[in-house]
Structure 1
Amino acid sequence: MTRPPHKGPRNDRRLPPREAPPAEPFRRPSADVVVLYGAHAVREALRARRRKLLTLYATEGAAERIAPLAAEAGLTPQIVDPRALTSRLGDESVHQGLLLEARPLPAAEIADIETKSGVVLVLDQVTDPHNVGAILRTAAAFAVDALVMTDRNSPELTGVLAKAASGALEHVLIVSVVNLARALQELSQSGRLVVGLDSEAPAPLEETRLQNPIALVLGAEGKGLRRLTRERCDVLARLDMPGPIKSLNVSNACAVALTTLRLKGIASSE
């Protein structure tokens, strides 16, 4: 005997259709528009006003918190859904409800560097944006005169780097150069002692004879300083670590080196 078809309520396990993410209102990425996100990066860009500010996007809560500072900078936050920010920046971004579109920082040259603290940092093809961002944060904390880096084999001054710099990108003069060896020569001719950090150097930094003003050169992790870069340095020095791990992340090495210079009286307290 054939059973009649069951006409009771069906156990329909189909999920409801996913709601489409909101449309993104942002500009298309281009060479003349940079993206800054996160509370510190956006706040310091609004506060410093070293660059032309275009559009500020914010969630409702973030817009309320940043409204006074945005008004001082002449911007009105455009309210967006947080999912739009995540879609634009990626799932791993910690945007804190803020995204700012702006023009790149004004270009600078070696001749534009003013001697204040007496210390210039030079990066020899350090490519990781997190490391460069952390170095910028340390540079701002120590009030260095400038950060010199190459046009190529360096990260873009936006996005992840700006977030890692935690606002320091707006406060440190950045000089991009085509030829690093030539830039080191210019720094030396301007009266700065060019010191390269090298693990094979003959003496530790704290025992090396130094003078102000100074240009401290840091190499990429793993590779270190390139041969031509080492040849353009006036002196090489190393960082000796007392613990079982002898090497440091380049951003940590930067902080240790700047602390050493300050303790030696090389970096000005201004």
Structure 2
Amino acid sequence: MTDNTEKSKPTIFYAKHSDPKKHSRVNKESSTGWKDKRKNDVFQSKPKRDRNDRIETFQARSDRPRFAKQNIVVELNRSPSEIEHDSPWQKKVRANDQTPTFGYDGYRQRKEETLVYSENSCKAVFKHRRTAIVKLFIIQEMTYQFKELINWLVQERLGYDIVSNEQLNKITQTPHHGGVCLIVKKRIPLTLLNYLEQKSDADKDCILAIDDVNNPHNLGGLIRSAAFYRVNAVMLRQTNLLNSGAAMRVAEGGIEAVESIKSDDFIASLDMLKQHGYQVVALLPCQTKSVASSELHKIRFNKKVALVIFQQINMKLISCADVVVHLKGNDNMPALNISVATGILLSNL
């Protein structure tokens, strides 16, 4: 009975008591080691930086604190009278000589690029074919006039340099640059056949066929008159003359408003124009007894006209003309400048 009672009792296990000193020593050692490790950690012991220990790239002026952190392009929105002599733009002017890629980086640049200078010419390039712009050179005083162009160059990540007037004289090889110069891609001239295909549906059209006018100032004056009277195209043997910086400056941006047509054979080109319904009108530079001509007020013009302009009389081209006209002068002045005479003729169309 006693044995069965002892067997039925549950078995009880007693846990051994741990030594509190031992545990406290281990905890103390682990705690001490973690603190020592933290003390020895070089990343936890950073030296404090002094407030004045900073690198300043631009010190803002005290009189304009609002513009201290803004881009320097903010100056473009201010008029020239508001820009002070100690403007940050003055620090942007390059001290070394600047040279454009045109004419300096090999044959490809001389063939494909050209220089455009003067205010109206550069603005016309930006208006009509801004994608042809390669780089801008400009003096500080003209930045306000070209703030839209400069902002566009910044957005397109294209280069521009603010240079001195003397440096711009060297770049353009002339003092008549107007304080601004662009490097642009040359325009590709059309053939007469391609032009006639574009104008196949046009009821009215006017083409200026310029023969042997090599003076860039006269050529620029002709193009300016052509653009003023909405002439659609000019035809030349040497279309590269239209890329002359002097011609573009005198044209005041008019070159960008007319198409250029290259013709190696003027007689064949005039015959082709006749076949497409154009009236060929030849303007004599002066009245001559050897050539039968009419006065301007007696001429009736068609809707499609091709005006042939001479520097010197070309009898082969005159024989191709439907009408020959001259401007009557007097003993004091028998003839006008070719660009002025062309403007008078165009005003009567």
Which TM-score bucket, shorter chain as reference?
0.7 to 0.9
Give the C-alpha shift of residue 157 in structure 1: 1.9
> What amino acid is aligned across from residue 247 of structure 1 in structure 2?
A
So what's the TM-score if we normalise by structure 2? Answer: 0.63
**Percent of residue pairs identical:** 22
Instruction: Render the CA deviation track for 1:51-106: whole Å, top value 9, x for unaligned.
Output: 6111111112223320213434645532122211101223x431121110011113
**SS class of match (2:143):** helix
- What is the SS of the residue equivalent to 2:209? strand
Partner Cα distance (1:28, 1:215) in 2: 35
| Residue in structure 1 matched with residue 211 of structure 2 by the alignment | 124
Q: Distance in 2 between matches of 1:127 and 1:211?
A: 29
Q: Residues of 1 paired with 2:260 and 2:331: CA distance?
A: 34
Q: What per-residue deviation string (whole Å, max 9, x for no partner) do you get for residues 9-32 of structure 1?
A: xxxxxxxxxxxx842231142011
Q: Residues 233-244 of structure 1 correspond to what in structure 2 (within 5 A)?
A: 233-241=321-329, 244=332
Q: Does 1:38 align with 2:118?
A: yes
Match of 2:99 among 7, 12, 25: 25
| 1:135-181 deviation line (CA, Å, top 9, x unaligned) | 111111100121111127x7342310000000111111111211111
Contact 1:135 1:254 in 2 (8 A): yes
Distance change >3 Å, CA 204–CA 129, structure 1 → 2: same
State whether residues 295 and 326 of structure 2, in contact with CA within 8 Å, keep that contact through their aligned partners in structure 1: yes
SS, match of residue 65 in structure 1:
coil
Residues 98, 116 of structure 1: alpha-carbon distance in 2 compared, 3 angstrom cutoff = farther
User: CA 1:150 to 1:121, structure 2 compared with 1: closer, same or farther past 3 Å?
Assistant: same
TM-score (norm 1): 0.80
Q: Equivalent residue for 2:317?
A: 229
- Structure number with greater CO (CA < 8 Å, separation at least 6) is 1
Contact persistence 2:227–2:254 (CA under 8 A): yes
Amino acid in the other structure paired with 2:190: A
8 Å contact kept, 2:172–2:181: no
Whichever structure has more helix as a proportion of its residues is: 2
- Map Cα deviations across residues 32-52 of structure 1 (whole Å, 9 max, x no partner): 111000101111101111661
Structure 1 letter corresponding to 2:261? V
Distance change (3 Å), C-alpha of 1:118 and 1:50: farther
Flag structure 1 segments of 5+ consecutive residues without an equivalent. 1-20, 262-270
Q: 1:139 aligns with which of 218, 226, 229?
A: 226
| Match among 188, 212, 215 for residue 306 of structure 2 | 215
* Structure 2 counterpart of 1:238, one-letter code: H
Aligned to 1:60: 140
Asked if 1:169 is matched to 2:249, the reply is no
Could you tell me which residue of structure 2 aligns to residue 99 of structure 1? 181
CA contact (8 A) 1:47 1:69 kept: no
Question: Once structures 1 and 2 are overlaid, which stretch shifts more, 164-173 or 56-65?
Answer: 56-65
The aligned amino acid for 2:268 is R
Q: Secondary structure at the match of 1:87?
A: helix
**What does residue 85 of structure 1 align with?**
168
Distance 1:197 1:245 in 2: 17
**CA 1:63/1:129 → structure 2, altered by over 3 Å: closer, same or farther?**
same
- Is 2:195 the counterpart of 1:112? yes
**Separation in structure 2 between the aligned mates of residue 161 and residue 146 of structure 1, nearest angstrom:** 16
Q: Which residue type is aligned with residue 333 of structure 2?
A: I
User: Could you say which residue in structure 2 is the equivalent of 1:149?
Assistant: 236
Q: Cα distance 1:155–1:106, how it changes in 2: closer, same or farther (>3 A)? A: closer
Structure 2 gaps of 5+ residues are 1-94, 104-109
Query: Is contact 1:193-1:210 (8 Å) kept?
Result: yes
Residue 237 of structure 1 aligns to a residue whose secondary structure is strand
Q: CA RMSD in A?
A: 2.2
Matched, 1:183 2:269: yes
The alpha carbon displacement at 1:210 in A equals 2.8
Which moved further from structure 2: 158-167 or 112-121?
A: 112-121
Number of aligned residues: 236
What one-letter code is carried by the residue in structure 2 that aligns with 1:187? L
Cα pair 1:70 1:76 within 8 Å, conserved: no
Q: Tell me the SS of whatever aligns to 1:45.
A: helix
In 2, Cα distance between equivalents of 1:55 and 1:134: 26
